[in-house]
Structure 1
Amino acid sequence: MTRQLLSFCLGSCLLAALPGVDARAAELPVRKAGLWEMKTLRTGSPMPEMTIQHCTDVATDKEMSSSFSPASKEMCSKQDIQKTATGYVTDSVCSVAGVTITSHAEISGDFNSAYTVKSTSHSDRASAATMPRDSTTTIEAKWLGACKPDQKPGDIVMPGGIKMNIKDMEKLKGMIPKQLPK
């Protein structure tokens, strides 16, 4: 269960960072500063629905872009973002823990009050409990208002009260195995 939670947390945190992802053809807008609630629904996966809260500000969203940019360039052979009439479309091919994952996402919303990310992904191999071959993920994000008094920009509160800061992702990156067990 710890491995599943870590895997899901990493995935959720990376998806939480979508508004700050390094873009080649277009750039996603920075989210409004404050507390965002992000509800993640997954199909084709044993992971349950999860709701997290993320405290952010303009500087943190921009920093996430520059922090994740080197990691994404290291892990992704393709990462394209295009502006559409209704929002944005992203397509990526990334290698994580020796597994190649091809993803397509459609992003809509205003990044001031709410946005939605609908993505499909296909991996070149499945992992028993944590990574299905094909999955669909929907993130529904809504702005709740100012961050709570005990929160600072970058703080993420996971189910069960687990709290971490997105700025600590470099530490978590070292916990990702180079290869998944077969």
Structure 2
Amino acid sequence: MRRSLRLSISLLPLLLLSAAPALAEVQLPLRKAGLWDIKLDHEGGRMPAVVVQQCTSEAVDREFMSDFAPSAKQNCSKTEIQKAATGYVMDSVCTMAGTTVTSHAETSGDFNSAYTVNVTSHSQGGKLGSQDNKVTIAAKWAGPCKEGQKPGDVVMPGGFKMNVRDFEKYKSMVPH
């Protein structure tokens, strides 16, 4: 359970990437409010696919972007979003905890019913050394949030629930 929790929390930044960061002059549309089923699938089977549910609202997506942008500006030497024929292309170079991650993401679909983010990244430095990753984030609107859920709630594998508004306190649970 603890390993699953660490894995889930460590994947949260990728999940949040799917929330459409507004880090550059081009801004991605906000997602439709409600419950989103989000699957994170790692190419090559190094980690099992992870499925989470996220209850969101326009206010939560906007709030997260305004909270995330200063951190990205502080930790990233490059954050670019460009409109493409089929969606958006995002490129970034960020350094955290001694690891530099260069990533390229292509987003397609719409933010009202379903979208896909294909991310390729190269990590260098830190405890993991050099590593290449390919992750596909596939999100599908599932309807209104469930009873008892509030915007920002994320239900992780195993039923662990957290709220993106509380992300700072969960970061301390991830081993460095």
Name stretches of at least 5 consecutive residues in structure 1 with no aligned partner.
none
- May I ask how many residue pairs the two structures share in their alignment? 175
Cα deviation, 1:98-152, whole Å, max 9, x if unaligned, reads 1101000000011000000001000114756xx8700100011000000001100
Contact 1:38–1:142 under 8 Å retained in 2: yes
Cα RMSD of the aligned pairs, angstroms, is 2.1
Give 1:46 shift. 2.8
Give 1:7 shift. 4.8
Q: 1:134 to 1:4 in 2, by over 3 A?
A: farther
Q: 1:29 to 1:90 in 2, by over 3 A?
A: same
- Match in the other structure for 1:121: 121
Which residue, out of 152, 155, 167, partners 2:153? 155
* 1:109 alignment partner AA: G
Runs of 4+ in 1 over 4 A off after TM superposition: 174-177
Name stretches of at least 5 consecutive residues in structure 2 with no aligned partner.
none
- Match in the other structure for 2:9: 9
* 1:107 alignment partner AA: T
Give 1:33 shift. 0.2
SS class of match (1:117): strand
Residues 46-85 of structure 1 aligned to structure 2 (within 5 Å): 46-85=46-85
Percent sequence identity over aligned pairs: 53
- TM-score for both structures, normalised by structure 2: 0.90
Distance in 2, matches of 1:30 and 1:142, equals: 14
- Match in the other structure for 1:31: 31
Q: 1:119 to 1:91 in 2, by over 3 A?
A: same
Q: Flag the structure with higher strand content.
A: 2
* 1:100 alignment partner AA: T
Contact 2:41–2:135 under 8 Å retained in 1: yes
Contact 2:4–2:157 under 8 Å retained in 1: no
Cα deviation, 1:35-93, whole Å, max 9, x if unaligned, reads 00000100256321100000000000000101111221222111111111100000001
